[in-house]
Structure 1
Amino acid sequence: MARKAAIIGGGVIGGGWAARFLLNGWDVAVFDPDPQAERKISEVLANARASLPALSDIPMPSEGVLSFAGTITEAVEGADYVQESVSERLELKHRVFAQIQQSAPNVLIGSSTSGFKPSELQERAANPGSIFVAHPFNPVYLLPLAEVVPSPRNPPEAVERAKDILRDIGMFPLHVRKEIDAHIADRFLEAVWREALWLVKDGIATTEEIDEAIRMGFGLRWGQMGLFETYRVAGGEAGMKHFMAQFGPCLQWPWTKLTDVPEFNDGLVDLIAGQSDAQSGHHTIRELERIRDSNLIGFLRALKDRNWGAGKVLRAHDDKRKAALHAEGKIGDGAPLVMAHLRVLPGWIDYNGHMTESRYLFAGSETCDNFLRLIGADMDYVAGGHSYYTAESHVMHLDEAKLGDALTGTVQVLGADEKRLHLFLSILKDGAPVATVEQILLHVDMKAGKSCPAAPEVLAKLMPIAEAHKALPRPEAVGRHVGQRKS
């Protein structure tokens, strides 16, 4: 049975939360008195459906059921988790929490607040220990960070349960250990924002020039290494101590105006807004969102390929869902064995809009790798000095795959002995093959650089599969040479 999340407040952030939960298989009930809430959330969902699946290398779970509630009580009925994303007015949040806890006194309530401390949110609450800060970043459906800020009134087990829920939907819960106004990330952003306002007000730089300085320079470094790791590298071989010694004195120089704020008046607003309109006004907000999401997918995919930064969160989420698929019998079942679930990603597409040639072989490789892990020839086995090497492959391209298509990889063992493994891999779309890959693999002693018998524990798993597969029909494509006519 699907779990249920209640989203109270359906603006940009609330809509992002709804999309994140919904696309990860949760049922979602939204309450927002805005008559345009349903339209706005549908537009956010459209962006999320076009982008979030592109970060996963296995199919997303079945989408949950979205509903719009007429009252807060209706929204939170039966909810396993509640995310509050109403306007940043403390008295409004207090009223919302009171209404939630009238009908669901013990449900976990995360607040998207960017500024209030949890102890402020908990004031006069019937059950303060269930209210905490879960502050995300826009777009919530793509960016993994959620600052989880408890107060001393939150039981540790409740905080851990909240973090597990956030991990379940692919987020990175950053546990903020001490309450502080604006938490961690927004305090940092506020300092950068304040300095940027001064640079524009003083006529030193335009909004576009400041944005170029960020996106052409340090912003690219921050996206993968953050602040301190970036400066550690800048210190060279001597590391952070050298950097601090070299650049520390500049902290005494009167460069910044961080202790002062430019007067916030109509003149400053018009100056900033006018420059921003000139910079980006030729795009609609929805167009900018789609541009942003497409670029974020590219950045995040690159980090995922390297298992670095936010990419580690994506990898871990995939691994968790792969384990669940194994446990449910959805990987490694059937004959041939179902060994991979893949989705055609933006980087897999060629100039014709179809999956590019190399990715058919990649899909086969992923399928084969999962089979090798199934029989125990995994990374630990490779670390021990032995591996299966592909000696020969024959790929047949049978049909087209396009962006977003869900693919399934299956394995049929055609033959196996102590040293050799003969596989036939099928890459299926809607049950029909788009490609097949016939492979011969040799078991190799990597240190000696020559073939050798596989370990007994690997053969103990492999040989029963090979024996069972002898009863399967032999695929027509087996043994075909390149260019051979179909009979």
Structure 2
Amino acid sequence: MSRVAIIGGGVIGGGWAARFLLNGWDVAVFDPAPDAARKIASVLDNASRSLPGIYDRALPAKGKLTFHDTIAAAVEGADWVQESVSERLDLKHAVYAEIVPALREGGFIASSTSGFKAVDLGAKGASVVVVHPFNPVYLLPLVELSGPADLRLRAEPVVRALGMYPLQMEVEIDAFIANRFQEAVWREALWMVRDGIATTGQIDAAIHMGFGLRWAQMGLFETYRIAGGEAGMASYLEQFGPSLSWPWSRLTDVPDLDDALVATIAAQSDKQAAGRSVPELERLRDDNLVAILRGLRQQGSGAGEVILAHEATLPEGGEIDGLPVTASRCVPVTWTDYNGHMNEAAYLELGSWATDGLMRIVGAGPDYIAAGKSFFTVDSRIRYLDEVQCGERLSVTTQVIAAEGKKMRLFHRIMTGDGLVATIETLLLHTDLTTRRSCPPEPEVAAALTRLARAHDGRIAEGCGGAVGERP
């Protein structure tokens, strides 16, 4: 078990704590604020509900969370130190002076700073690399790595192991890459409010109803390349390049955040919130991000590619009560309905993943399918035995009831930590994908199925073969 020290448990530090914990790391936190534990517990609650839901495999068992009264106690024995204290250079230097003596030999400090260069952070002798995340840290994959090349290279595998995307920056610059873009858009937005051109609600709608959706799966240059038509980027620049010199923007100026502008922004922002609290808005944000990230995962595009790469490293398989575990995952918000629990259609989807898991076990996985053979479902019966909520971890075991010629009959048991919540009985026919007609499975697959059927023979499968609505 790896151990990380989180120095500073605010919004960013708490997000880091959640990201590490849910990826199986033990987390030691130092934060002198009296309510630090409560705040981190709130972040962890949100993260536990959302992060596992973007994957189709279960994350590792959660690590252990501890709080410490001194920096040295938190850092002692840590494999990684993540500093997330306030953006004051003097404060960071003071904190580093306490971290360095407690570091393991050859250790370094990873800073969450949103603007300082590593060379300035390490000006008093500490080995520091910028590892700059984005809020919410437990969901957004981007991490900007800036500073000494050797430390950036050492930091990258840790970042990837957390399911994040390390953006290596060879050139050090204040505020890095992404924050400079955010700052530019933010500055222009402030001017629009200041000049009475747009309200906070109009500006936010322009982003999340328009180009923000494009940016979720393609960056600026790819988007504009497409806008240039078949001629590509050169055509776009030729058409729209001259407009860069037009007086559309006030990006070189910064509006004075006087009392009147602050009051205007605050009032408009309150109206936008429509009475929703910050925790309610955080939950909405996370649910939206899970839905977007799962969509990108399905296509393997943008952040979805990062999710798939991390998911491939997560363990699967094992046994429960002598039966193979064919699926294990957490319930994403996209599987829930207006009643607040897992929708009935999602059980069938989970059952299909479990069937795929059993097919891989018997040698009928992706390579077998690519060669032109597979199993098609022809009948299913689901029993819903208990409610399941968003974020709950589900494990599915599969019993081979029968393997007779072209037929494969399976019985899936869906379980939470509290017990059985559903069963799915399914009948499949082996099929030739070229003719779309049933046919006998290849000998090695038939033999593997027969072995499992014999091993599972004699087990009681309560509800298997019963009529719809039948209960003990």
Q: What is the TM-score with the length of structure 1 in the denominator?
A: 0.88
Letter in 2 for 1:102: P
Equivalent residue number for residue 146 of structure 1: 143
Distance 1:68 1:57 in 2: 32
- 1:167 and 2:160 equivalent? yes
For residue 448 of structure 1, give the secondary structure of its aligned residue in structure 2. coil
Quick one: structure 1 residues 228 and 418, their matched pair in 2 at CA, closer, same or farther if it must change by over 3 Å? farther
- Alpha-carbon distance between aligned partners in 2 of 1:306 and 1:119, rounded to the nearest angstrom: 39
Structure 2 CA distance, aligned partners of 1:364 and 1:27?
33
Note if contact 1:94-1:125 (Cα within 8 Å) is conserved in structure 2: no
Instruction: Give deviations 1:313-345, integer Å, cap 9, x for gaps.
Output: 233333311xx344xxxx356532221113333
Residue 460 of structure 1 and its aligned partner are, at CA, apart by: 5.1
> Structure 2 matches for 1:403-482, cutoff 5 A?
403-417=390-404, 419-430=406-417, 432-459=419-446, 461-470=448-457, 472-482=458-468
Equivalent residue number for residue 201 of structure 1: 194
Alignment map for 1:184-195 (pairs within 5 Å): 184-195=177-188
2:30 corresponds to 1:31: yes
Over 3 Å counting, the alpha-carbon distance change for 1:29 and 1:217 in structure 2 is same
What pairs with 1:84-483 in structure 2 (closer than 5 Å)?
A: 84-104=83-103, 105-126=105-126, 128=127, 131-151=128-148, 154-155=149-150, 158-280=151-273, 282-321=275-314, 324-326=315-317, 331=318, 335-417=322-404, 419-430=406-417, 432-459=419-446, 461-470=448-457, 472-482=458-468
What is the CA distance between 1:457 and its match in structure 2? 4.3
Give how far 1:417 is off. Answer: 4.8
2:325 is aligned with what amino acid? Answer: V
Residue 434 of structure 1: how far off its partner (Å): 2.6
Partner of 1:82: 81
Give the letter for the 1:232 counterpart.
Answer: R
CA apart distance, 1:288? 2.4
CA contact (8 A) 1:84 1:109 kept: yes
CA distance in 2, matches of 1:19, 1:183: 24
Is the CA contact (8 Å cut-off) linking 2:93 and 2:121 kept in structure 1? yes
Q: Which has the higher contact order (CA 8 A, sep 6+)?
A: 2
Point out the more displaced range, 58-67 or 167-176: 58-67
Once superposed, which parts of structure 1, at least 4 consecutive aligned residues long, lie more than 6 Å away?
A: none
1:232 Cα deviation (Å)? 2.7
CA distance in 2, matches of 1:277, 1:399: 40
Structure-2 change in CA distance of 1:396 and 1:278 (3 Å): closer
Provide the C-alpha distance between the structure 2 equivalents of 1:268 and 1:23, rounded to a whole number of angstroms. Answer: 41
Give the secondary-structure state (helix, strand or coil) at the position aligned to 2:421: strand
Question: Secondary structure, in 3 states, of the residue corresponding to 1:342?
Answer: strand
SS at match of 1:424: strand
Gaps of 5+ in 2: none
Displacement of 1:60: 3.8
Residue 63, structure 1, aligned to residue 56, structure 2: no
| Inter-partner Cα distance in structure 2 for 1:473 and 1:40 | 48
Are the structure 2 counterparts of residues 435 and 284 from structure 1 closer, same or farther at C-alpha, using a change threshold of 3 Å?
closer
Question: What does the per-residue CA deviation read over 1:236-292, in whole Å, with 9 as the maximum and x for residues that have no partner?
Answer: 343333322322222232221222323454444344334334433733333322222
* Greater displacement, 55-64 / 85-94: 55-64
* Conserved 8 A contact 2:52-2:329: no
Say which SS state the counterpart of residue 14 (structure 1) adopts. Answer: helix
Number of paired residues?
A: 471
Counterparts of 2:421 and 2:267, CA distance in 1: 52
Partner AA of 1:371 in structure 2: L
Change (3 A) 1:420 1:108: farther
Sequence identity (%): 53
* Distance in 1 of aligned mates of 2:471 and 2:41: 49
Counterpart Cα distance in 2 of 1:438 and 1:290: 35
Match for 2:465: what amino acid? G
Unaligned runs of 5+ in 1: none
**Within-5 A mapping of 1:36-55:** 36-55=35-54
Task: After TM superposition, give the deviation of residue 218 of structure 1 in Å.
Answer: 1.2
User: Deviations for 1:216-238, whole angstroms, at most 9, x for unmatched residues?
Assistant: 21112212222222223323343
Partners of 2:371 and 2:102 lie apart in 1 by 57
- Return the offset for 1:5: 0.9
8 Å contact 1:345–1:403 — kept in the other structure? yes
Compute the displacement of 1:54 (Å).
3.0
Instruction: Please report the RMSD computed on the Cα atoms of aligned residues, expressed in angstroms.
Output: 2.5
Gap change, CA 1:187 and 1:319, over 3 Å in 2: same
